[in-house]
């Protein structure tokens, strides 16, 4: 099969949608990781700031595979933000708050996107460019919820594990944190097995659905 035939047989619609999905994925990841860095900084740890993670530059945050996973499968990850818990006044509590900052920021981003979706719908829905922008807002909202929900899974190194570990006794907490990097292997096995696909989809849809009244409220403001 020649190169021309390969190109002719490509699903260009799918490729176009994939490329468009990269931009919402980047925004969701940047907001997520910057929130970790910002909260850690406010709680006394400057490690991530010194590494340049409190930045809008996407190249400081993205993991190429995690970005592609988020764009295609709506669940992904970024480069972990470095945190030195010994710089915190209350290490376990502050580590949990830093971890929660990412998913919470994703829910807030989704809420903002849905608000503007409802606010702008009447003015934009009838044009092709307007419809594209509205679709981009909805895609960003759903993707942001998906990233937040995925990161709340209590498996290291995801944020949910740091929140869960914070309620454990100190000696158990420290031991688990020592082996955190090995959780990546377990996480990859679970993700690629597809076991979490159904539950994550249902939970993401439920959270997204609970936020959609924000769009309806914004729509009524301009009706």
Catalytic machinery residues? 33
Distance CA 193, CA 22 (A): 24
The closest alpha carbon to 159, from 55, 211, 81, belongs to 81
Distance CA 148, CA 136 (A): 18
Q: How many CB atoms lie within 10 A of CB 36?
A: 27
3-state secondary structure of 78: strand
Distance CA 34, CA 81 (A): 9
Distance CA 196, CA 41 (A): 33
Give bridge partners of residue 62 from the DSSP assignment: 78
Give bridge partners of residue 120 from the DSSP assignment: none
Give bridge partners of residue 78 from the DSSP assignment: 62
Q: Kindly list the distances between the CA atom of residue 107 and the CA atoms of 9, 15, 171, 201, in Å, as whole numbers in the listed order.
A: 39, 27, 33, 16
The closest alpha carbon to 113, from 82, 143, 73, 147, belongs to 143
């Amino acid at each position: 099969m020649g190169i021309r035939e390969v190109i002719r047989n490509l699903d260009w619609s799918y490729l176009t949608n994939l490329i468009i999905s990269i931009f919402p994925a980047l925004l969701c990841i940047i907001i997520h990781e910057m929130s970790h860095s910002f909260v850690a900084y406010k709680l006394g740890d400057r490690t991530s700031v010194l590494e340049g993670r409190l930045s809008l530059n996407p190249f400081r945050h993205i993991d190429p595979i995690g970005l592609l996973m988020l764009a295609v499968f709506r669940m992904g990850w970024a480069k972990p933000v470095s945190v030195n818990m010994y710089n915190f006044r209350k290490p376990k509590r502050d580590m949990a708050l830093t971890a929660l900052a990412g998913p919470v920021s994703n829910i807030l981003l989704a809420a903002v996107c849905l608000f503007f979706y409802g606010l702008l719908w009447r003015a934009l829905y009838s044009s092709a460019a307007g419809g594209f922008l509205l679709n981009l807002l909805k895609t960003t909202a759903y993707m942001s919820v998906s990233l937040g929900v995925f990161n709340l899974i209590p498996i290291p190194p995801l944020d949910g594990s740091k929140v869960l570990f914070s309620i454990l006794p100190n000696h158990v907490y420290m031991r688990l944190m020592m082996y955190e990097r090995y959780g990546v292997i377990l996480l990859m096995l679970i993700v690629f097995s597809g076991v979490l696909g159904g539950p994550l989809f249902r939970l993401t849809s439920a959270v997204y659905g609970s936020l959609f009244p924000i769009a309806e409220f914004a729509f009524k403001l301009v009706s």
